[in-house]
Amino acid sequence: MKTKKLQFKEKYGPFALVAGGSDGLGRAYSEALASRGLNLVIIARNKEKLEETAAQLREQYGVEIKTIEADLANYENTKKLINELNVSIGLLVYNAAFSAIGLIENTSEDNLSQVAMVNVRTPLMLSKMLSTRMIQNKRGGIVLMSSLAGGQGCANLIPYTASKAFNAVLAEGLWKEMKQHGIDVIGCCAGAILTPGYQQAGKNAKKAPGTMSPNDVAEKTLRALGKGPIVVPGGMNKLARFLFARLLTRKGAINIMSKTTGGLS
């Protein structure tokens, strides 16, 4: 009988691509996939962290790791660099995100454009690009990171939360279309995650209820792959999603979430 690790590798290997995979939650995804025996393509902007993560995972898990130093806001360049590797990618994990924190009136057009490119255009285009080969192979998977904050509008984080709503709906639609081809798709609606970026942004705010470690979020998401279109890691976060979506009025949900994001900077 095949082990779960071998089944996972056969279903989603030989390579997984992790966008934003060198630090925080992306680093946790990279490690979780390497521990399952998948080779990796890791994309990130920070060359030092990228190479450090790759070296550590190669040594610890003995998998092949290719790195791409790139700005995911530039899809055309990202596509070119991926194609140049000429490897078979059976799993996409799109974790990269750009957060424009602050009131919309104080947010520059450049930052708004960056959110749209990194958080919306590139995950959509990479899903299209990489699923083409997956459809031919009749197997594969796509993991898209959404957020509980994307379940409703909220102040101080409008571009980010709107982009996360897009990714949740994108995951749901892809889940429906791709399952006929043997491809699993899941959107992760996570709550607060103790990543370096979150800790920095939330230095003036209280730790949100249900805050989880990157490793827990990555593991729970990968274990849920193939079981449905959306996963909400953590019992407290599942309760919060039910409360916001089913029990509160839309106005109430917006007001409560805005209080949570008001301390970000």
| Residue 130: CATH number of its domain | 3.40.50.720
Tokens of 27: 């680093």
CA–CA dist 97, 241 (Å, integer): 21
The model scores a pTM over 0.85: yes
Residue 66 structural domain: 4-261
pLDDT at 199: 55
Burial 38-55 (b: 16+ CB within 10 A, else e): bbbbbbbeeeebbbebbe
Number of domains in the chain: 1
pLDDT at 248: 85
CA–CA dist 91, 36 (Å, integer): 13
pLDDT at 1: 61
Stretches in the chain below the pLDDT threshold 50: 202, 204-205
pLDDT at 260: 77
CA–CA dist 105, 263 (Å, integer): 17
pLDDT at 206: 54
